[in-house]
Amino acid sequence: MLEVKDLHVSVEGNEILKGLSLTVTAGEVHAIMGPNGAGKSTLSAVIAGEDGYEVTSGSITFEGRDVLEMEIEERAQAGLLLGFQYPVEIPGVKNVYLLKAALNAQRVARGEGEIPAPEFMKLVKEKINFMKMDSSFLQRAVNEGFSGGEKKRNEILQMLVLQPKLAMLDEIDSGLDIDAMKVVAKGVNSLRDPKRGILIVTHYQRLLDHVEPDVVHVLVDGRIVKSGDKDLALELESRGYDWLVEESAA
């Protein structure tokens, strides 16, 4: 589904990703772990098409299409979605309108036409209940005054409504208390689907107690230095990252 090959990416002239390769197959949950500053967020941002990253070599393909040739909107419409693509507050724009606009953009791109308003409200209410969110949330401006936990829940809500083919979640577990994390994990688990790939970017193993990854990759200094199954995450939890940093420098 997603194939990243020998990707090199620079930010402001500094090389951040240094030959990263990664394959995600539909139906799988992949976790990208690694020390702070390794390039995890850079990877997900480059796949999603955010500005400010210069791809100097390598390739990214998604369902056989050259992702690097696609604009950010085209990528979203093709089903590549990074949670929290609107991490900033958007004063005056209600959450519910942003969700609806994003869903309709996708549907129109697929030639399906806009979703009827009652059908949309039914869908959103169902998902909001599932995420144990208050429905007043929909009427609030995007991210305005949201707590960290509310932003994270909102990110999963967006995924549940938009149903991307590849869902990428960056640090979805940071700053969550245990109850909020369980709700977020429940949301992520409900996204599991034979036709969907899920890429979870996380510094800590904590979320992976609740969302079992099929493949765990460790990103150190711009490269994937080790991949394994869920046991690798447990090993990292007990041993930290230093041994891999040393191995990768040797």
What is the contact surface with ligand ADP in residues (CB under 6 A)?
Answer: 11-12, 16, 34, 36-42, 52
How many residues sit close enough to Mg ion to count as binding (CB under 5 A)?
Answer: 4
Nearest distance from C-beta of residue 38 to ligand ADP, angstroms: 4
Nearer to ligand ADP, 183 or 208 (CB): 208
The one of ligand ADP, Mg ion, none whose footprint includes residue 205, by CB under 5 to 8 A per kind, is none
Q: What is the number of alpha carbons within 13 Å of residue 11 lying toward its C-beta? A: 14
Nearer to ligand ADP, 44 or 106 (CB): 44
Residue 148 CA to residue 180 CA, distance in Å, equals: 10
Is 41 a residue that touches Mg ion (CB under 5 A)?
yes
Tokens of 211: 């969302």
Nearest distance from C-beta of residue 163 to Mg ion, angstroms: 25
The one of Mg ion, ligand ADP, none whose footprint includes residue 36, by CB under 5 to 8 A per kind, is ligand ADP
Nearest distance from C-beta of residue 232 to ligand ADP, angstroms: 17
The one of Mg ion, ligand ADP, none whose footprint includes residue 216, by CB under 5 to 8 A per kind, is none
Nearest distance from C-beta of residue 141 to Mg ion, angstroms: 26
Nearer to ligand ADP, 53 or 146 (CB): 53
Nearest distance from C-beta of residue 44 to ligand ADP, angstroms: 8
Nearest distance from C-beta of residue 44 to Mg ion, angstroms: 8
Nearest to 211 by CA among 221, 224, 222, 198: 198
Strands 223-228 and 215-220, bridge-based pairing = antiparallel
Nearer to Mg ion, 94 or 203 (CB): 203
How far is the CA of 223 from the CAs of 20, 98, 153, 218, 244, in angstroms? 5, 35, 30, 8, 11
Instruction: Enumerate binding residues for Mg ion (CB under 5 A).
Output: 39-42
